[in-house]
A and B are shown apart, each in its own frame.
Chain A
Amino acid sequence: MKILVCISKVPDTTAKISFTDNNTKFNEDKVQFIINPYDEWYALVRALELKEGAGGTVTIVNAGPADNEQIIRKGLALGADDAIRIDMQANDAFQVAAEIAAVAKEGSYDLILCGKETIDYNGGVFGGLLAEMLSMPYVSLASKLDLQENSLLLEREIEGEKEVIEVAMPCVVSAQKGMAEARIPNMRGILASKSKPVAVITPSGTTARVPVASFSLPPEKGACKMVDADQAEELIRLLHEEAKVI
Chain B
Amino acid sequence: MNPPEAAVAPQWRVMLTDWQIGEDDIEAVMETLRSGWLTMGPRTQELEARFAEISGATHAIAVSSASAALHLLCRAAGVGPGDEVIVPAISFVADAHAPRHCGGTTVLADIDSPTRPLLGVAEVEPLISERTKAVIAVHMFGYSGAADAAYELAEFCAERGVTLLEDCAQASGARYPDGRWVGSLGLAGCFSFFSKTALGVGEGGIITTDDADFAAAVRSLRSHAMSSVTWDRHRGHAETYDVGELGYNYRLDEPRATLALSRLGRLDASLADLKRIARAYRELLADLDGVELTFSAAEIEHGGHFAFPVLVADGATRDRVREQMRLAGVQSTAYPALNLLTEYLDPDAAPRAADFAARHIALPIYADLSTSDQQIVVAALADALGGQSGG
Query: Do A and B truly interact?
Result: no
Residues of chain B whose beta carbon lies under 8 Å from any beta carbon of chain A: none
Residues of chain A whose beta carbon lies under 8 Å from any beta carbon of chain B: none
